[in-house]
Amino acid sequence: MVKSSGSDDARALIRSLRVAYSATPTTLKIIDLYVCFAVLTALIQAVYMGMVGSFPFNSFLSGELSCIGTAVLAVCLRIQVNKENKEFKDLPLERAFADFVLCNLVLHLVIMNFLG
């Protein structure tokens, strides 16, 4: 009884979450998708490292940091782009995007240098 109501609650919770999330603007959804993609890639690399060992450690680290770093930058972009964040209300979208691109380029220059 308790169990079924618990699962019902969970379903209700997920449903409400999905409904709430569907109201999110498409641009933010794209960013979310991008973050998922980056984190997933990082996870796969971590699994690979767990299987074969960390021999070219710098290569592993740069692959991992590339994914995590770009995910973090994407999260930052999402914060700046979200209209509900009053803190960044005056910041234009384009400026935030330019920051994202610039940071990514700098990040990847370092990553490439570190890749070996």
Q: Residue 54 or residue 85: which is nearer to another protein going by CB? A: 54
Write the burial class of residue 77 (CB in 10 Å: 0-12 exposed, 13-18 middle, 19+ buried). buried
Is 34 an interacting residue with respect to another protein (CB under 8 A)? yes
> Applying CB under 8 A, what is the total number of residues that bind another protein?
30
Is 91 an interacting residue with respect to another protein (CB under 8 A)? no
**Interacting residue with another protein among 5, 58, 79, 92 (CB under 8 A):** 92
Is 48 an interacting residue with respect to another protein (CB under 8 A)? yes
Rounded to the nearest whole angstrom, what is the least distance from the CB of residue 6 to another protein in the complex? 30
Interacting residue ranges for another protein, rule: CB under 8 A: 26, 29-30, 33-34, 36-38, 40-41, 44-45, 48, 51-53, 55, 92-95, 97-98, 101, 105, 108-109, 112-113, 115
